[in-house]
Structure 1
């Protein structure tokens, strides 16, 4: 039995098999080969394997997200068989006597660059597709295994780190817990774990090469312990912890169906944060009164091209209809910083947290913004929708947003497409927005305080930097005073204010937030009943 101590990002206990998610280092070495024919056969075998993988992905996507979204895998299958692409790889292997991995990597980079430099947007988007199929071939050639979510039993996922685009593609029903060697307590992996109500550890000093998928493991989120190949006594103790947690969950279930009202009659809406249509099930299971943050950027992650208007409209409409009239607040595109996509051409930045991201992308690339707004305004006919705009720092930004919304509404009216202009608010997540909140409140319907970014910008700490976790203090008095200023600014203009950052789920602060006058708290679905219980027990 081996024990490793990390940092806990969500408490709880998980018992089950380990599944190790290993990634290549991204460096493909150039090697001379003696047997060219054998190398070409390796390439052919890897290509057949890739075709089979893509076929399985297409069938899975067809069932889960429909034919339109599944078609990308058919495109990849066709590109994999492209004669020019295959001839270029074969030529390198045959004339230079090189290993197939290197030939695929170089050819993939060359073709990706050709597509990226084309004038046509559709062809530019194919650049990422070429990279994707090339990386798939290289993984197959090197024997690197992918997690087979379709046939995998529920497991503890162990990885060096996980990006938002990786987590969004996972089958959440198959995840018992997360364990990562790196990462921050404020990473999107941590946020996902809290949303799903599963244990998660980061900063666990384990050598991934020493672990074998299928080995029994235990994740103790309370004491931040990852145990590999535990003995019977340790397993028994873990089962006991799970039983105690189940009892606590049973007690919280008594708050289902109850309004979130203090004993003195003060009502605070308790909403849930989600990132996909499938997450609505967590919202309903935990009896949230609405959705306070739908992270629309997860429609953009893990893809090779922008989601079109129809795909977005169908997604937003489905969430609204499923929520049956309860409020659904959708945040517009918040890509950038730690959430990057190749096809938007954001490039590498020295300080991405303060760079080209969120509303700045939307205002600089209005066509991208308008596509999303068209989908949102059309979807607003199907439920209780509200839109909120992230990373606002000025009145001018809000005025420009209002102009673009008016332009989109005029377009839809001319095209005789049904639409509605819903409630619109902004996220308060910069000190600049806090300081001018009274002026901003005159222009919007509500504020939603993003405490994750507000904390990092107020304290000048990158929340993704694990070295700074001990300095990152969301309870800092400066942060709490800014929250109070924001609430006061909203109320002065007769508008409501909520919190949608991770701090909203911190039950040690629930009473203080209610005393501040907060109107809404949006939290991970797994925390809804805990927060409601705190509110209901307040005087």
Structure 2
């Protein structure tokens, strides 16, 4: 049955439209189960009726005509109960409904299974037979499995129809919504420009050639032209990215080198294979190796190799990558966006990004946040190849993409975009003002940095320090561990840029969804694996070199603070402190006049919440990593679109944990800050201030909004609001109560501007 199932799904996947897909389903399922009837009913969301859309065994003239409400018939019962129904004698069931036009009365036994996609019933799959009999467990299991497999296929086919032609009832193009993962905040309304592979390597055939020298010349020309493209793109992005960030293009150039892809392809050509076939063979081998790796960062490298392979093939075929026209308000869409694709768009035209694959922590998402471009990643259901040239809305707040948006929705989001623009302009006046509440409480606002663009944006927005500098970024864009001297230069630049304000540098935090291509970590469960402090304590040589570089970089500036990630207990902390003191001694022995900087612990593992006082006794400060703490407390991978809606930092468990951390830190007389998405959410910032956090650290983009809101409220009012919300046991109710309270105070100006549309 598994083989049958696989074959049916493959055949349905290749169907040209929804009608063809449904026809294949009813034919193949009827054959596989040896039944006399197989039918598919789809739920029409406009009329809220299950409509017969395909059948094998019933009168085909009834297709599109027979329909029933969820409260009618056996099909309606399967749909509303959302579970299978197996009947020996359907006609005797009280919910049986007779439709003369189907000829249905001849069939006694009935087995129906709901078709459910993302918790939404999209239809019902039914088989029927003349003789009275109960379908056995195996048959029921097969139909349930079949409907689960087909749910995504049907939703995809429906979406494709509503994007590029007719919907399931033959209706005209309609608005459709696709869910992904929020990659970079903001909203954009614009025109989709789909970047398809410029050339398809997979379909290149083998071909023997006699003139090997001519093929080698062709390939070398293509190599040189792609190298030129990479250099040009790197130069084009020079003003937006620092040299270390542009190093990704150097990695591309190295892949093209005579000692890498270039030489391997040349070797294959010399065996008598034409250049295109040799390229396909070599790129295919590399991509397969990368894609089989468990490590998320290394899997990202497969897309880099594919990108290079496609560019080379395009030149070999004597055609440049698609001659794309970029309209004003371009929303770039691709199966896998690469940083190089961003550089192709003329300055000022790119307003949004959508990637079918990838997570909120991929290179592209990091670049997008640094450049302030609204982005949705992981929109896996989006039929991206069909949407070129159509109107799109990108909602980077909620991770949603709307195709063919209605005039009303377009107008609403256009207002959000304009509101954001005006708000950003208006809030720039706050830059020099302190973040102080109406009753005089001072709240320092710091920023999270990692890219050069973050530094500039932070200074433009009046940040009072750096609460989190992600030191892994310089490591991620190199092809080897940076030396002590290289690290020193990078850290010095960061410390000097903010001097005399404090800069909190997190020690190398790799593993999980952040890996290094030259230091692969292969694990079944990376988020609960070898990451953060666990890696660097196992490799003291990495930790010591980095700590020495930080300490030397701080000489004469004295604004460094060191932060230790993923600490789960006192033993790890003691080992890390020992290494920091050792590095400090070494640096001083070398003649550097450096003070021992304050050292802090990140509270991002539930175990650390329950040991907060023990940890606080041994360090100078604490800092909550709200992203990971929320993820671990709720057991939700925030980069997984299937469960991303369960990730909620206003969940009662998260709020209670945060209060425990603040109370524990203060009981030991130690300051506690919070960094992550939560601190940058203006409404959540009100609650964090009320809990007693000593500083908030956030994305520079959100800092003015948080400052505006905290300046418009009193600490006493914030505490009153917190007390009210701590008594609520449902995160959705918490959100709505908080937003309603702020609206009633006339403070809704900086709340997520797209939330009103969602409501």
The two structures have a TM-score, normalised by structure 1, of 0.81
Whole-Å separation in 2 of the counterparts to 1:395 and 1:344: 27
Pairwise mapping of residues 162-181 of structure 1 onto structure 2 (< 5 A)? 175-181=350-356
Pairwise mapping of residues 42-81 of structure 1 onto structure 2 (< 5 A)? 42-56=218-232, 65=242, 73=250, 76=253, 80-81=257-258
Structure 1 residue 316 corresponds to structure 2 residue 491: yes
Q: Is the 8 A contact 1:57 1:73 kept in 2?
A: no
Q: Find the counterpart in structure 1 of residue 571 from structure 2.
A: 396
Q: Is the 8 A contact 2:247 2:478 kept in 1?
A: no
Whole-Å separation in 2 of the counterparts to 1:481 and 1:317: 38
* CA offset digits 1:229-257 (Å, max 9, x no partner): 88999877765443333333344345332
The 10-residue stretch of structure 1 (192-201 or 182-191) with the greater mean CA deviation from structure 2: 182-191
Shift of 1:465: 1.8
- Gapped runs of 5+ residues in structure 1? 113-126
- CA 1:223–1:299: 2 relative to 1, 3 Å: closer
Q: Find the counterpart in structure 2 of residue 335 from structure 1.
A: 510
Shift of 1:159: 3.3
Shift of 1:4: 4.2
- CA 1:234–1:487: 2 relative to 1, 3 Å: closer
Q: Find the counterpart in structure 1 of residue 708 from structure 2.
A: 533
Shift of 1:53: 3.4
Shift of 1:154: 7.7
Structure 1 residue 452 corresponds to structure 2 residue 623: no
* CA offset digits 1:182-219 (Å, max 9, x no partner): 5667888667656655433345443232344x877553
Structure 1 residue 290 corresponds to structure 2 residue 461: no
The 10-residue stretch of structure 1 (494-503 or 203-212) with the greater mean CA deviation from structure 2: 203-212
Q: Is the 8 A contact 1:16 1:216 kept in 2?
A: yes
- CA 1:241–1:485: 2 relative to 1, 3 Å: closer
* CA offset digits 1:438-477 (Å, max 9, x no partner): 1100111111101111111112222222111232232221
- CA 1:167–1:192: 2 relative to 1, 3 Å: farther
SS for the counterpart of 1:504 is: coil
Whole-Å separation in 2 of the counterparts to 1:133 and 1:193: 17
Q: Is the 8 A contact 1:504 1:510 kept in 2?
A: yes
- Gapped runs of 5+ residues in structure 2? 1-172, 291-297, 715-759
Whole-Å separation in 2 of the counterparts to 1:444 and 1:405: 12
- CA 1:69–1:527: 2 relative to 1, 3 Å: closer
The Cα RMSD (Å) is 4.3
SS for the counterpart of 2:622 is: strand
The 10-residue stretch of structure 1 (59-68 or 500-509) with the greater mean CA deviation from structure 2: 59-68
Whole-Å separation in 2 of the counterparts to 1:239 and 1:471: 28
Q: Find the counterpart in structure 2 of residue 508 from structure 1.
A: 683
Q: Is the 8 A contact 1:4 1:225 kept in 2?
A: no
Q: Find the counterpart in structure 1 of residue 271 from structure 2.
A: 95
Q: Is the 8 A contact 1:16 1:154 kept in 2?
A: yes
Whole-Å separation in 2 of the counterparts to 1:477 and 1:105: 49
Whole-Å separation in 2 of the counterparts to 1:170 and 1:406: 48
Whole-Å separation in 1 of the counterparts to 2:284 and 2:334: 27
SS for the counterpart of 1:179 is: strand
Pairwise mapping of residues 298-377 of structure 1 onto structure 2 (< 5 A)? 298-347=473-522, 349-377=523-551
Whole-Å separation in 1 of the counterparts to 2:685 and 2:248: 46
* CA offset digits 1:56-96 (Å, max 9, x no partner): 467669886569986994995697234x9766534433436
Shift of 1:16: 5.0
Q: Find the counterpart in structure 2 of residue 142 from structure 1.
A: 313
SS for the counterpart of 1:505 is: coil
Shift of 1:160: 3.4
Pairwise mapping of residues 212-231 of structure 1 onto structure 2 (< 5 A)? 212=388, 218-219=393-394, 226=401
- CA 1:516–1:111: 2 relative to 1, 3 Å: closer
Q: Is the 8 A contact 1:329 1:388 kept in 2?
A: yes
Q: Find the counterpart in structure 1 of residue 383 from structure 2.
A: 207
Shift of 1:496: 0.4
The 10-residue stretch of structure 1 (300-309 or 250-259) with the greater mean CA deviation from structure 2: 250-259
SS for the counterpart of 1:508 is: helix
Q: Find the counterpart in structure 2 of residue 121 from structure 1.
A: none
Pairwise mapping of residues 3-14 of structure 1 onto structure 2 (< 5 A)? 3-7=175-179, 9=182, 12-14=186-188
Shift of 1:360: 1.1
The match for 1:474 among 649, 653, 672 is 649
Whole-Å separation in 2 of the counterparts to 1:68 and 1:243: 31
SS for the counterpart of 2:433 is: coil
Whole-Å separation in 1 of the counterparts to 2:374 and 2:642: 22
- CA 1:215–1:201: 2 relative to 1, 3 Å: same
Shift of 1:517: 1.0
- CA 1:412–1:146: 2 relative to 1, 3 Å: farther
- CA 1:50–1:504: 2 relative to 1, 3 Å: same
Structure 1 residue 438 corresponds to structure 2 residue 613: yes
Structure 1 residue 277 corresponds to structure 2 residue 452: yes
Shift of 1:489: 1.3
* CA offset digits 1:153-202 (Å, max 9, x no partner): 98433233569x88999999875222233566788866765665543334
Whole-Å separation in 2 of the counterparts to 1:358 and 1:147: 42
Whole-Å separation in 2 of the counterparts to 1:239 and 1:40: 52
The 10-residue stretch of structure 1 (434-443 or 322-331) with the greater mean CA deviation from structure 2: 322-331
Shift of 1:264: 2.5
Structure scoring higher RCO (CA < 8 A, sep ≥ 6) equals 1
Pairwise mapping of residues 3-42 of structure 1 onto structure 2 (< 5 A)? 3-7=175-179, 9=182, 12-16=186-190, 18-22=192-196, 31-35=205-209, 37=211, 39-42=215-218
Whose Rg is larger? Answer: 2
Shift of 1:389: 1.0
- CA 1:413–1:143: 2 relative to 1, 3 Å: same
The 10-residue stretch of structure 1 (42-51 or 193-202) with the greater mean CA deviation from structure 2: 193-202
- CA 1:110–1:76: 2 relative to 1, 3 Å: farther
Q: Find the counterpart in structure 2 of residue 517 from structure 1.
A: 692
Q: Find the counterpart in structure 2 of residue 122 from structure 1.
A: none
Q: Is the 8 A contact 1:447 1:498 kept in 2?
A: yes
* CA offset digits 1:318-376 (Å, max 9, x no partner): 122221311211111111111122201322x1111111111111111122222211111
Q: Aligned pair count?
A: 518
Pairwise mapping of residues 405-424 of structure 1 onto structure 2 (< 5 A)? 405-424=580-599
Whole-Å separation in 1 of the counterparts to 2:358 and 2:512: 15
Shift of 1:392: 0.4
Q: Is the 8 A contact 1:268 1:520 kept in 2?
A: yes
Whole-Å separation in 2 of the counterparts to 1:456 and 1:137: 35
Shift of 1:273: 1.3
SS for the counterpart of 1:6 is: strand
